[in-house]
Amino acid sequence: MEGNIFMTDIRTESTSVTSRALLFDGVDTKPYVKELSVRAPGAGEVLVKMTATGVCHSDLHVINGDWPYPYRLMLGHEGAGIVESVGADVSDLAPGDQVVLSWFAPCMNCPSCHEGKSWLCQGSGAFVDGLPDGTTPLAADDGKEVRPYLGVGAFSEYTLVPRPAAVKIPNAVPPEVAALIGCSIATGVGAVGNTADVRAGQTAVVVGCGGVGQALIMGLKLVGARQIIAVDLSDDRLDIARGFGATDVLKGDDPDLAKKIKDLSGGGTDFAFDAIGLTSTSAALTGYLKQGGAAVYVGMPPRDAEATIRPWEIIVTGQRILGCNYGSTRPAVDFPKIAELYLAGLLPLDEMVGERIGLDAAAEAIEDLKSSIGRRKIVVY
């Protein structure tokens, strides 16, 4: 059908679909599954039939109330699916294509996007948990507003996103892996390759070895880091970290943690990544570094959290503190690149995939992140 002048009509659906989705009404309530309606894609939009959604700690931050929201959310942001239909002017995606969803869809029209730094976009629909024009494509029969978390809302059988949020990757990538590329993997691998620009032979410590920490370790191994010190409170997570390439493991509650890191690394590491976002872990990060090293904040704190640093020490040691939003990735460029690295056997992404669960078990799985045991749970549809 390529080139057929009727192709646009054939590919465009005009009716909405019903979808079971995980909704959240706000702090002190529990997420619940409810059927809602997702409208048909208009110009510049894509309707996606979800295949897999990872359970990420950012969903836990939401239900914990770390980042309060004034409206009802359709939860989930680490997802992938198959294009169901596209808006009339979308010519570079077709039904049947596998897409990874980007939870920070760039507007492509702000100064950061013009500079090619779409991870710093100032006009993303992610800021309003909706489409770039501020509206929501979702409707529930109770009449109450419901908005897709970060403009994605991936815990749902269907979702509707703007074109830049749907990134095509080869259908040969399994859905579970595709879903993880949408958050933890892009963030961890991107933090190493883009934000920090780690080079072969350098050293790093990774604090927090959940999904994001595991992706950091994989990224560090990929670029040839010679020492990767993994830190976690959970022995299970430290075992997993070793499997991904950690050369040394340490307990996060060890009172001599900084000294042990300095001893193991001969005076401090080139990089220290925080992948849990506690005030205490963020503040401690520069204490693990050598002269000129860089601390990379990846784990997210509550919005109003404050941590103390010692500016004098930063100055005299020439250290740097780097903020990492979404692995400083440009989804359209980096997601397919990550998929190709996986298909070439250079990133063992299958090993991040844990238990596959149904949508009805998603709320419990988000809570269960607190146990810090096992690999990433993934909702499959």
Ligand X SMILES: NC(=O)c1ccc[n+]([C@@H]2O[C@H](COP(=O)([O-])OP(=O)(O)OC[C@H]3O[C@@H](n4cnc5c(N)ncnc54)[C@H](O)[C@@H]3O)[C@@H](O)[C@H]2O)c1
Which residues, 6 or more positions from 242, have their beta carbon under 8 angstroms from its beta carbon?
A: 230, 249
Q: What is the arrangement of strands in the sheet containing 17-24, beginning at the earlier edge strand?
A: 138-139, 32-38, 17-24, 72-74, 146-148
Specify the residue, 317 or 372, whose C-beta has the smaller distance to ligand X. 372
Q: State the binding partner of 113 from ligand X, Zn ion, none, CB within 5 to 8 A by kind.
A: Zn ion
319 contributes a contact to Zn ion by CB under 5 A: no
The encoded tokens of residue 135 equal 């509206």
Site for Zn ion in 112-171 (CB under 5 A): 113, 121, 123
Query: Residues 230, 248: contact at Cβ < 8 Å?
Result: yes
Exposed (0-12), middle (13-18) or buried (19+): which is 75, by Cβ within 10 Å?
buried
Number of residues that bind Zn ion (CB under 5 A): 10
Tell me how far, at minimum, the Cβ of 50 lies from ligand X, in Å: 19
Query: Residues 331, 167: contact at Cβ < 8 Å?
Result: yes
Alpha helices in the chain (DSSP H): 7-11, 57-64, 111-114, 175-180, 186-190, 211-223, 235-244, 257-265, 279-284, 311-317, 331-343, 362-368
Tell me how far, at minimum, the Cβ of 369 lies from ligand X, in Å: 4
Interface mask (CB under 5 A) for Zn ion, residues 95-114, using x and -? Answer: -----------xx--x--x-
Return residues touching ligand X (CB under 6 A): 56-58, 61, 183-184, 187, 207-213, 231-234, 237, 252, 275-278, 281, 298-300, 324-326, 369, 372
The distance in angstroms from the start CA to the end CA of the chain is: 29
Q: State the binding partner of 107 from ligand X, Zn ion, none, CB within 5 to 8 A by kind.
A: Zn ion
Tell me how far, at minimum, the Cβ of 325 lies from ligand X, in Å: 5
216 contributes a contact to Zn ion by CB under 5 A: no
Specify the residue, 12 or 325, whose C-beta has the smaller distance to ligand X. 325
Specify the residue, 85 or 269, whose C-beta has the smaller distance to ligand X. 269
Tell me how far, at minimum, the Cβ of 66 lies from ligand X, in Å: 9
Phi, psi of 106 (to 5 degrees): -70, 145
Q: State the binding partner of 357 from ligand X, Zn ion, none, CB within 5 to 8 A by kind.
A: none
Q: State the binding partner of 110 from Zn ion, ligand X, none, CB within 5 to 8 A by kind.
A: Zn ion
CA 284/CA 287 separation, integer angstroms: 6
Specify the residue, 121 or 300, whose C-beta has the smaller distance to ligand X. 300
Q: What is the 3-state secondary structure (H, E, C) of 185-215?
A: HHHHHHHHHHHHCCCCCCEEEEECCCHHHHH
Binding residues (CB under 5 A) for Zn ion: these are 56, 58, 78, 106-107, 110, 113, 121, 123, 183
